[in-house]
Amino acid sequence: MANLAQEIHFEFGGLSENNKNVSGSQIVNPDSDNGNFEVKLGARLPPGWYFFSGSAKQRDGKTYFIKPRIIFLDDSAPQILGDIDGVPQRPYQQEMSRYYEFEVGEGAAHRVFRVPVAEPKPIDFTAKRVFISRWIDRVNDESTAPSYTFKVRDFSSVSVKYSIAEECKAHDQVFNTVSGPNGLFEIKFIQDKADVDLSQESRTNGSNEKYCLSIWVFDKAKNVSSHHVEFYWKVLHPWEKVNR
């Protein structure tokens, strides 16, 4: 206990994002039992790069220098860009009651494929009423699933979580994670990643007629951003085969 610091002189300086020179100092009294200390700068410093250093005066009279560090202070939330911002969406074939059927192979290799009649085109998530139609036996088929694509700026130090549920979720209610190259992310609407039964239509599941995709982005500075997309979910059993 004899060599615990009596006080710590803490200094900082740097250049904020708006090119303003900032500097200051604090004297901190460490905990008398274990020597731990905490420096609270509050909201005094604008975002930018800062140099932090300090010295500790020990109870034995000696002075020790704290290893300097360069830190970037960031108070800006990550920016999420979606369909409304012009991010291209992957084409999707809405799965309706009518379909084409193809037979491939012979014997043990014989397979029957069902293909929607509708032409593939991107879902317009900016529309007032967004509809997604899905065959009941495909609600967990990732290869044919509808999806939502979005971008995150300054993506190198963020984590992305999301939820597909009956209602839009808060940041502490989303647990699915997604990654993407160069800040471009794609979320597939499949049962394994949903918090709601996708074999049930949104109109018949609870009081809310729509489902919600909630996207939350977290950076290392604990800034967060959200992006929500609501949509009507329709489930069908294909019944009418169409001959080409």
Residue with tokens 């500075």: 221
How does residue 236 score in pLDDT terms, banded at 50, 70 and 90? very high
Look at 236 and 239; give whichever has higher pLDDT: 236
How does residue 177 score in pLDDT terms, banded at 50, 70 and 90? very high
- Give residue 126's pLDDT: 96
- Give residue 81's pLDDT: 97
- Give residue 225's pLDDT: 96
Residue-wise pLDDT for 192-227, tens only, equals 999 999 999 997 655 568 999 999 999 987 889 999
Q: Which of 2-11, 98-107, 133-142 has the highest mean pLDDT?
A: 133-142
- Give residue 204's pLDDT: 64
How does residue 149 score in pLDDT terms, banded at 50, 70 and 90? very high
Contact 169, 176 (CB under 8 A): no
> Pairing state of beta strands 91-92 and 121-122?
antiparallel
Please report, as a single letter, which amino acid is at residue 51: F
225 - beta bridge partners?
Answer: 217
pTM for this model (two decimals): 0.74
